[in-house]
Amino acid sequence: MARHRFIPGFGLTLGFTVFYLSVIVLVPLWFLVLRTTSLSWAQFWAIVVDPRTLASLRLTLLTSFAAAAVNAVMGFLVAWSLVRYQFPGKRAIDAIVDLPFALPTAVSGIALTAIYSSNGWLGSVLEPLGIKVAFTPLGITVALIFIGLPFVVRALQPALEDLDPAVEEAAAILGAGRWQTFLRVILPAVTPALITGFTMAFARAVGEYGSVVFISGNMPLKTEHVSLLIIAKLEQFDYAGATALGSLMLAISFVLLLAINSLQWWTARRYQGN
Amino acid sequence: MDRRRFLYAASALPFSLIGCGSSGNSGGQAALRNVSYDPTRELYQEINQAFGRRWQAAGNPAVMVEQSHGGSAKQARAVIDGLEADVVTLALAYDIDAIAERSKFLPANWQQRLPNNSCPFTSTIVFLVRKGNPKNIRDWEDLAKPETAVITPHPKTSGGARWNYLAAWGYASRKYGGDESKSREFVSALYKNVPVLDSGARGSTTTFAQRKLGDILIGWENEAYLARKEFAADGFEIVVPPVSIKAEPPVALVDHIAGKRGTRKVAEAYLRFMYTPEGQEIGARHHYRLSVPEVAERHHADFQPVELFTVDGMFGGWKAAHQQHFRDGGLFDQIYQPGT
Amino acid sequence: MVDRTAISRKLIPDMIQTAKTTEPAWMRTILLGIALLFLLCFLVLPLAAVFTEALRRGFGAYLASFRDAAAMSAIRLTLLAAGIAVPANLVFGLAASWGIARFKFPGRNLLVTLIDLPFAVSPVISGLIYVLLFGMQGALGPWLAQHNIQIIFAVPGIVLATVFVTFPFVARELIPLMQEQGSEEEEAALLLGASGWQTFWRVTLPNIKWGLLYGVILCNARAMGEFGAVSVVSGHIRGKTNTVPLHVEILYNEYNFVGAFAVASLLALLALLTLVIKSALEWKIRAEAALQVEEAA
């Protein structure tokens, strides 16, 4: 579109972006991939199809997806409550939403394990009901929900704050029910932000290790996280094997993120097009 | 103006918190760096102080020993990748071998340079059980019984855990006269009883003590004593099995780095100090078994008798043990093969 | 002018929320109840657990945890690393969001995905890449060693790892926000003769300030709390290269649970502090805006 031509700074901002991205992220990651090439394809493939690798990939991706999905729904609700409702303690709640970022991941893992293990505050309530959380995939999901929540809430908060109430009023005046207004007016407007939050929560969950290692129990084939396998390889001074797993995860994350981001651009364009 | 205040808030926030960002170095003191594994903090704190006094008393300039602690293999990797260590004190010889092999910072025969396989202090693998030993655990075979929950860390991520694993295997190997399939059956049965494989040895202790998981914790003898003391209220008891492995955490001078940093003399003195009566006494206070017979004699009554086998004797050294048990697809991995 | 529209947008929901543009009271109660229950289980309890452990031996023991030279040096190093990483990523975030949200060019999507990538990388790998690059066995290691330059197992490596793990925060907070807002206001300013810099300063920045602030707060919190990647490049030299999260791990491994959770709670408090500052700013600006609206009326 022609109108974008006269906004200045394209070369400067994009040039800096690409430069900084390359120095901090792309070049170092390239060396990771390069190190993998010291393996033959057969060796690489043997690592990929190892049952332990496959089990941990499945575990990592499924728990990450589940956690991001829970966060998308609950995070929306939390952001909505914080932006739209008045209730006692709102400021305090708003403040602790960032907590999962500030706590070292190991501390989060230890605290969550303490709460959800069979002698913990919640674990002792849930265990008689037949729900085991700590040292199961459910526990990993709990940890990943914890570390991903701020992404969704903080991505949605500005978007919800920026919603023009006039549009909602117009919808209401035109006879739309509250649910209709939500589905047709509010949700489309904040979908890009919601997908951003989901993407970041998911991405972060895929890469999370510090909190997971405490609550997972690390049982082979059951609760072994990909990061643990990478560490296991490093412990044997098998750098190539470790970078192979790292590169594999990198490729998977990249494809998934690209897909979700494309979805986000598509929804953003569709909404703006309306 | 609003925007200005916002930009300040945004960018100055972290800056305002820096305060005095410079980290001061400790004057003109000569520094010696000891890169060690995780559970030796308390030991080396005491050794470093005692050595510092001795070194100065002998007419040398004051020396400060810098400590770095972490998982044994992780520390070895750090040295290989450029963490400058004058001496390394790690959990197993395999990790120092890796430094010698990959970086050539020390000769391949490093382990012959100091007495007792370069181990001033040794230990063995014992059991920590709950108050009153309710499951009546006496020997290794009790760990493989059904309904017994065993806590031990992940052998793939913890050096200590590898000692635990080899101790169990060595017991079985002796019992079944070296029959590999029977030993394998025993060790499999034992690991089937493990509900949680923490990534490090102290993590396992916490799982056992704080989460109240498991009936028995496998670990180093000195660590069991420490856990019993730290969690005194729980009344844990130490059970020493009749047979176990001799845990040998070796120490070594990293010739290349010590040469480069000009610390060779003090580094060698530091390592030798651990073999002096004074150094050995410190080890005894931390419940290590000692390598100098005269001092060990004095503490004979502190340790329960146990028949010890070694990695070299039973497994033909760490390299062979690693190749057979801990490499990808090795015997440890086979325990968890699907369908077994 | 521009300011005022932004302000009225923020004020109106609070002032004239009519029955038609909000949920029925019972619905609000249920939604709020679910949100709060969720937060209780996932946020409040872990926080309570941290402080319960930290204060188990009383307030004196809690304070004593900070009066330790190793703790102080860890705090200094963490502040230093965050103090470099956050401004660096702030500048990057502003540049990236301007370039990506204000222009259309092929590969935009790819670029955003690459910016996201550091989140998805396991912290073990985030640290390892710098080891592979700057380590003795790595590409640049031998050259650096010859020139006596220490990157990993020293402060620069810790800063790099921190920059890496907090890389996307500001950019990812701003890109969707600027996209959603569109560029009409900036175009108007430019048409009226404002320079690019003035437009950014007077139009864009006020519009994105909340998103920017959230991004910085998150980035800062994460920079201070990062554990895994920093652990790989730190070398764990006591009093030199231990950050606060690493110090917490050490204390925990020494069975000093009170100390570990006390130092961890400091990070939690820092996160809360940034939010308090944010709330104070928010409140002040709303008050000023209300005044302006009154004057205008």
- Closest alpha carbon within chain C to A271: C180
Report pLDDT for C20.
56
Nearest to B213 by CA among B196, B225, B231: B196
pLDDT band at B16 (very low <50, low <70, confident <90, very high): very low
**CB burial of residue C26 (10 Å; 0-12, 13-18, 19+):** exposed
Domain A40-273 has CATH 1.10.3720.10: yes
Instruction: Identify the H or E element spanning B220.
Output: strand B216-220
pLDDT tens-place string over residues B98-123: 999 999 999 999 999 999 999 999 99
- Taking the CA of residue B212 and the nearest CA in chain A, the distance in Å comes to 7
Q: What's the mean pLDDT in C47-69?
A: 91
Where do the domains of chain A lie? Answer: 40-273
Residue from the list C76, C209, C288 with its beta carbon closest to the beta carbon of B3: C209
Q: DSSP readout, A77-104?
A: HHHHHHHH---TTHHHHHHHTTHHHHS-
pLDDT tens-place string over residues B189-245: 999 999 999 999 999 999 999 999 999 999 999 999 999 999 999 999 999 999 999
Alpha helices in chain B (DSSP H): 2-18, 41-57, 72-80, 93-103, 115-118, 140-143, 159-175, 180-192, 201-209, 221-230, 255-261, 264-273, 277-285, 293-298, 311-315, 318-321, 331-335
pLDDT tens-place string over residues A82-104: 998 988 888 888 888 888 887 88
* A-chain residues near B102 (CB < 8 A): 237
Report pLDDT for C4.
45
Residue C4 in tokens: 């005022």
pLDDT tens-place string over residues C95-113: 999 999 999 889 888 999 9
Report pLDDT for C297.
64
Residue from the list B77, B203, B213 with its beta carbon closest to the beta carbon of A234: B77
- Taking the CA of residue C253 and the nearest CA in chain B, the distance in Å comes to 6
pLDDT tens-place string over residues B128-174: 999 999 999 999 999 999 999 999 999 999 999 999 999 999 999 99
* B-chain residues near C217 (CB < 8 A): 13
Residue from the list C34, C180, C245 with its beta carbon closest to the beta carbon of A77: C34
* A-chain residues near C245 (CB < 8 A): 104-107
- The residues facing B251 across adjacent strands are B89
CB pairs under 8 A between B and C: 136
Length of chain A, in residues? 274
Please report, rounded to a whole number, the percentage of residues in chain B having pLDDT higher than 70: 90
- Closest alpha carbon within chain C to A100: C43
Output the pTM of the full model. 0.88
CA angle, B328 then B330 then B335, to 5°: 110
Taking an 8 Å cut-off on Cβ atoms, the answer to whether A228 and B328 are in contact is no
Count of CB atoms situated within 10 Å of the CB of C244: 27
Residue from the list C216, C254, C288 with its beta carbon closest to the beta carbon of B41: C254
Say whether residue C24 is in contact with chain A using an 8 A CB cutoff.
yes
If one compares B17 and C133, the residue with the highest pLDDT of the two is C133
Taking an 8 Å cut-off on Cβ atoms, the answer to whether C80 and B21 are in contact is yes
The DSSP 8-state label assigned to residue B120 in this structure reads: S
If one compares A107 and A270, the residue with the highest pLDDT of the two is A107
Residue B164 identity (one-letter amino acid): N
CATH numbers and ranges of domains, chain B: 2-119+249-275 (3.40.190.10), 122-247+305-335 (3.40.190.10)
Say whether residue A98 is in contact with chain B using an 8 A CB cutoff.
no
Instruction: Identify the H or E element spanning B69.
Output: strand B63-70
* C-chain residues near A209 (CB < 8 A): 122-124, 228
pLDDT tens-place string over residues A62-80: 999 999 999 999 999 999 9
- Taking the CA of residue A117 and the nearest CA in chain C, the distance in Å comes to 13
* B-chain residues near C56 (CB < 8 A): none
Residue B2 in tokens: 């609003």
d(CA C216, CA C207): 16
Residue B178 in tokens: 């070296």
Residue C111 identity (one-letter amino acid): L
Q: How far apart are the first and last CA of chain A?
A: 17
CA angle, B151 then B215 then B337, to 5°: 40
